[in-house]
Structure 1
Amino acid sequence: MSRRAFIRWMLGLVVMIGAASTGLVHLLQRSVNRQAGSKTAVTNPLAGEMQEQPAAKEATASTNDPLLSFMILSDLHISLYDPLTVQHLKEALNDIKQFDAPVDTVVMTGDITDYGDEESYKELNQILSGYKLPPLYANMGNHDYYDIWIDKKGAFNKDTMPNGKTDWQSRERFQKFFNLEKPYYTVEMNGLTLLLLSQEAYVQEKPEVGEGAWYSDDQMNWLKDELAKHKDSKPIFVMTHQPLPAIGSDGGNHSLIRAKQFREILKPYPNVFVFCGHRHQDFQNGSEHYLKETFHYFHNSSVGRVLNRSFQNEFKNKSQGLYVQVYKDHVTLRGREFSNRTWLKEADWHIKI
């Protein structure tokens, strides 16, 4: 494939989200003479520590303190070939480190890395090691499976995909980094529940999923069972990566695939809050970030690459996330601009429960 044809193909692949463009340019420029040494599995010294949960807070009827406060970081896209992604994550972590409100935990909703390769996880580990942080939790996005596109010379190679690699290896790498037995799991914190869902296959195992999120029967049954444990009025927080398609349809490329079943499972629980990433939409560009269905549905922005409504990285200085505080009778959600440590008035919600 010619260089021009290859670049044309790549632009077609990412046009819907525009998220990988900067990193891919850097990757294409990587030297083909790079020595291919043997790789060792990434070991994250923070993995055990990140899964330790703080002691539950004692909530009384007289207190106005939040029961739980957490930051949601979506679409970090950490890449050695796009220094801005590293800079933006450091901006977010520096903000959290100096935050003037509690942050009990940090949740990262997919596309933690740009390519899901060992070098990216090593870079992520090096960044995280420089901060004393609350517990971190994460799920997988489509980009966390992208290592299958990288050939032995370090180039993005469609023609030789999967380049001797598997989706299974990407899942194992992610699970090892975050000390997980499965890519989906439950977090109980301060008497509240967070459910983190991850896509369980990519195009090496299931070519038909494209950039969509495919969940197995086991994961869907797990979601149903976990929700059934919480028939009280307490809110439950569900983390996905890809967004839902239009109501009444199942998803596909760039969306949650088993959407009808997903919505049906959530239907009996009006105090469920669902969060997704993937779209990278700027909180300030006028796009819709909160939708009320039978549950509350939020589209987060991006830490690594904030995009305009045409899915272009127009404001490369921006880095955004969502801060959530849970009280006894309401939940507040506020958009945060990490680059200058300010709140975004365009993303400010107060929801009664």
Structure 2
Amino acid sequence: MKSETPLFSFTVISDIQLTNENELSHQKLAHALQDLYELDKNSSALIMNGDLVADGKKQSYEKLSEVLESCPHTQEMYFTIGNHEFFQNDGNVPSIQRFLEFSKLDKVYYERKIAGHPFIFLGSESWGPVGTITKDSAVLSEEQLDWLSERMEEHRQGDMPVFVFLHQPLPYSLYGTDLLEYYQKGIIQSDELKNILSGIDNVFYFSGHSHFDLRFPNSIVKEPFTMINTGAIYDIWGPDGEGHEKVIDSTGSQGLFLQVYTDKVVIKGRDFTKKQWISEYQHNIPL
């Protein structure tokens, strides 16, 4: 039977790229959090899908905590690691450890239940090599992929949607990931990841990283599973027409508001700068 009211709602933002010194990054996050809270004070979760900080520094994580504590939001928050979390460039282990200390996690990949529904969070375990096209790509260990395969096999038997989060998009999927070599190599184990997620009903894969405007076409792709661009809090980017990319709106700030029903998932893009829905990004995905 079709449901007239949502079972629950949640919000997704990414690419906050906050630093201790950059007050604009504090303001953009605070503005987005206020807007999301006003939209739905009873939202079940807030998910921050990577690039929480721009420089990977402890002081920036501390400032991020201050901003979060000063703004209204749901108490249920979940985080993934992005490429900028490694930007202090002092090695994978200390970079990951700072992220884990902030997020109060044991690993960069984990699963949680929100309103009884499975939410799976993935994360890169390495950054580099620096100086190569794969510097900012996600590196997923065999252990992480085996764990994901086990989790997805269990969920194959269920009838609930499965929400999966990784900062980097799959190559040749969302808008721009086929245009620029940087995104064509964005996940080192992309084939393995795609194979694990394929063939299972109602998988929703969320990624940020590109900062590409949610108004671009193919910001949601529905085959072989639903892949979703989560926008960016800090700056909106787009291709420059010459094989590279550039900032196209330095005042822009975007994210997602989702409602889960028994028979569909509603995904709405939000322009936080203007406090308006993005008309080009309003999707009803049947289950």
What is the aligned counterpart of 1:276 among 194, 207, 215?
207
The 1:62/1:236 distance shift into structure 2, 3 A limit, reads closer
Residue of structure 1 equivalent to 2:171: 245
Residue of structure 2 equivalent to 1:235: 161
Provide the rounded CA distance (Å) in 2 between the counterparts of 1:73 and 1:133. 13
Provide the rounded CA distance (Å) in 2 between the counterparts of 1:122 and 1:195. 26
In structure 2, stretches of 5+ residues that fail to align are 174-180
Residue of structure 2 equivalent to 1:121: 61
Deviation at 1:318, TM superposition (A): 1.4
Deviation at 1:186, TM superposition (A): 0.4
Residue of structure 1 equivalent to 2:114: 189
The 1:300/1:71 distance shift into structure 2, 3 A limit, reads same
The 1:113/1:86 distance shift into structure 2, 3 A limit, reads same
Residue of structure 2 equivalent to 1:64: 4
Kept in 2: contact 1:167–1:204 (CA 8 A): no
Larger CA deviation: 179-188 vs 91-100 = 91-100
Q: Deviations over 1:26-67 (max 9, x none)?
A: xxxxxxxxxxxxxxxxxxxxxxxxxxxxxxxxxxx6853212
Residue of structure 2 equivalent to 1:258: 189
- How is 1:137-156 mapped onto 2 (pairs within 5 angstroms)? 137-148=78-89
Kept in 2: contact 1:240–1:275 (CA 8 A): yes
**If you compute each CA radius of gyration, which structure gives the higher value, 1 or 2?**
1
Kept in 1: contact 2:3–2:263 (CA 8 A): no
Matched, 1:316 2:250: yes
Residue of structure 2 equivalent to 1:307: 237
Kept in 2: contact 1:323–1:336 (CA 8 A): yes
The 1:100/1:238 distance shift into structure 2, 3 A limit, reads closer
Deviation at 1:189, TM superposition (A): 1.2
Instruction: Give me the identity figure in percent.
Output: 29
Deviation at 1:208, TM superposition (A): 8.2
Kept in 2: contact 1:194–1:238 (CA 8 A): yes
Runs of 4+ in 1 over 3 A off after TM superposition: 204-209
Provide the rounded CA distance (Å) in 2 between the counterparts of 1:246 and 1:314. 22
Provide the rounded CA distance (Å) in 2 between the counterparts of 1:132 and 1:336. 18
Deviation at 1:219, TM superposition (A): 0.6
The amino acid of 1:69's aligned partner reads S
Q: TM-score, normalised by structure 1?
A: 0.73
The amino acid of 1:303's aligned partner reads I
Kept in 1: contact 2:161–2:203 (CA 8 A): yes
What is the aligned counterpart of 1:337 among 271, 278, 286?
271
The amino acid of 1:304's aligned partner reads Y
Provide the rounded CA distance (Å) in 2 between the counterparts of 1:207 and 1:216. 19
Deviation at 1:227, TM superposition (A): 1.1
Provide the rounded CA distance (Å) in 2 between the counterparts of 1:203 and 1:297. 25
Kept in 2: contact 1:85–1:305 (CA 8 A): no
The 1:114/1:221 distance shift into structure 2, 3 A limit, reads same
Residue of structure 1 equivalent to 2:177: none
Residue of structure 1 equivalent to 2:178: none
Residue of structure 1 equivalent to 2:176: none
Deviation at 1:314, TM superposition (A): 2.8
Provide the rounded CA distance (Å) in 2 between the counterparts of 1:195 and 1:206. 31
Provide the rounded CA distance (Å) in 2 between the counterparts of 1:132 and 1:318. 21
Provide the rounded CA distance (Å) in 2 between the counterparts of 1:235 and 1:194. 9
In the alignment of these two chains, the number of paired residues is 274
Structure with the higher fraction of residues in strand conformation: 2
Provide the rounded CA distance (Å) in 2 between the counterparts of 1:300 and 1:62. 27
Provide the rounded CA distance (Å) in 1 between the counterparts of 2:40 and 2:113. 24
In structure 1, stretches of 5+ residues that fail to align are 1-60, 149-164
Q: TM-score, normalised by structure 2?
A: 0.89
Matched, 1:99 2:39: yes
Kept in 2: contact 1:270–1:294 (CA 8 A): no
Kept in 2: contact 1:76–1:305 (CA 8 A): no
Kept in 2: contact 1:167–1:205 (CA 8 A): no
